Structure 1
Amino acid sequence: MYSIIGLTGGIASGKSTASAYIREKGYPVLDADHFSRKATAKGGPSFDGIIKAFGKDILDEDGEIDRKKLGSIIFNDKEKRQELNDLVHPKIRRMMNEERDRLIEKGHVFLDIPLLFENGLDSQCDITLTVYADKVIQKKRLIERNELTESDAESRISSQMPLSKKRDLSDVTLDNNGSREELYNQIDAFLSRLEK
């Protein structure tokens, strides 16, 4: 019997690093962000609705959605963020579910979903896994990675469910306050338990 594992975290918590490592270990990882890009790309199932809701100002010179422009709107406006989620999430869910149902026949499947708990998708998982980092470390990584001001980093972090809450809701926590090696060791331990 194969498991569906929901993998989540917060911005700059190390979820993508964990996800990439799990993929390297040979497990399929369905990334919600990948499906989000497919849904919102020019000609994608959510594209027209987003332009109708947010206007043509969010397009880049190639006529694609400029994710930075859209991000600056939704990270500071809860209602606009909800509007975007309502346009995009059902399409992402449908595409991911089709892929998951195809892959679960062959082995364990990881679902990399930033809003796993927020959208109640943990109910579709056999195991939930949160990549956790303290808020101070999260903010430091985010400022360095995205070259943000402290207040921009703060608003992005506070636009998400606190990682401490995700950790408390999760079946398994990967503590990513240390080195990459320490994170990989925890993932290895989890995968070996999974295979037993």
Structure 2
Amino acid sequence: MKVIGVTGGVGAGKSLLLAYLEEKYGACVVRTDELAQELIRPGTDLHGSLQELFRGKNAFDPEGGLIRTRAAELIFKDPTLRARMNDLIHPAVKTELIRQIADRKKEGRTPYFVVEAALLIEDGYKKICDELWYIYADENRRRDRLRKSRGYSDEKINAIFASQLSEELFRRNCTHVIDNSGSVEESYRQIRSILGDGII
């Protein structure tokens, strides 16, 4: 089983390509953002730690769930708070991923295990992945996607872009680059050139 880490700037169109890997190649795709949401659900140890971290900041709904938009707003304004939150969540996510990878390897039925993470490079996922893929799209395309699909303002887009790794660093740290600036079929063709024609 090959473990592939997938990363790229926001708005690069990673979701569509991850779906293709699932459908065409039978890949098990784990999105670390979704996994984190599972690990911080009410009743978990991690949820309790977050309640302490955000105490008095109105970051939880009446059922005890973390309000993601509120938490994002808080950590965006406070780098120290963001670092403390990351120090809680990221190690737990990585530990769970390592466990899932080991389980899938034991089963022996999964050809590819794909990990999607915004901080794939920064958090050292190179150590648990066989190779890293960078999903690239030119800046204008990404901006257009974020305006249309998420309704982001130019100010918000600028702030997000400023917080992410440079294209040079993405390219330097990744094994393969998929240029997702053009047609979907062209992006699929690039994946086939790496993995072959698929199993389905």
The answer to whether TM tops 0.5 is: yes
CA distance in 1, matches of 2:151, 2:130: 37
Gaps of 5+ in 1: none
Shift of 1:79: 2.3
Structure 1 Cα separation of the partners of residues 44 and 133 of structure 2: 30
Check whether the contact 1:30–1:100 (CA below 8 A) recurs between aligned residues.
no
Residue by residue over 1:121-165, the C-alpha shift from the partner in whole angstroms, topping out at 9 and shown as x without a partner, is 112221111111122322221222221211112112222222442
Helix, strand or coil for the counterpart of 2:85? helix
- Provide the rounded CA distance (Å) in 2 between the counterparts of 1:122 and 1:101: 16
Offset of residue 100 of structure 1: 0.6
Q: Secondary structure at the match of 2:6?
A: strand
- The TM-score normalised by the length of structure 1 is 0.89
Alignment of 1:93-104 (within 5 A): 93-104=94-105
Residue 27 (structure 1) aligns with: 27
Q: Measured at CA, do residues 98 and 173 of structure 1 come closer, stay the same or move farther in structure 2, by a change above 3 Å? A: same
Shift of 1:94: 1.3
Q: TM-score, normalized by length of structure 2?
A: 0.88
SS at match of 1:173: strand
Q: For residue 32 of structure 1, what is the amino acid of its counterpart? A: T
Identify which of 126, 131, 135 aligns with 1:131: 135
Is 1:167 the counterpart of 2:171 in the alignment? yes
Deviations 1:21-74 (A, max 9, x none): 111121111221121111122123321111211235011243211111111222
> In structure 1, what is the equivalent of residue 45 of structure 2?
45
Query: Residues of 2 paired with 1:113 and 1:15: CA distance?
Result: 10
List runs of 5+ in structure 2 lacking aligned partners: none
Q: Alpha carbons of 1:125 and 1:114: their partners in 2 closer, same or farther (altered >3 Å)?
A: same
Take 2:140 and 2:118, find their aligned partners in 1: how far apart are those partners? 19
* Secondary structure of 2:121's aligned partner: coil
Percent identity, please: 27
Aligned to 1:47, the other structure's residue is in SS state helix
> What is the CA–CA distance in structure 1 between the aligned matches of 2:172 and 2:189, rounded to whole Å?
21
Please say if residues 192 and 198 of structure 2, whose CA atoms lie closer than 8 Å, have aligned partners that are also in contact.
no
Provide the residue aligned with 2:186 in structure 1. 182
Query: Quick check: 2:132–2:175 contact (8 Å CA) kept in 1?
Result: yes
Query: Residue 115 of structure 2: SS of its match in structure 1?
Result: strand
Q: Name the amino acid aligned to 1:55.
A: R
- Is residue 98–residue 128 contact of structure 2 (8 Å, CA) maintained in 1? no
State whether structure 2 residue 81 is matched by structure 1 residue 80: yes
SS at match of 1:49: helix
Deviation, 1:167, is 2.1
Matched, 1:9 2:13: no
Residue aligned with 2:191, SS? helix
C-alpha distance after superposition, 1:74-119 (max 9, x if no partner): 2343322211110111111111111111112423321222211011
Report the CA distance between 1:194 and its aligned residue: 9.1
CA contact (8 A) 1:139 1:157 kept: no
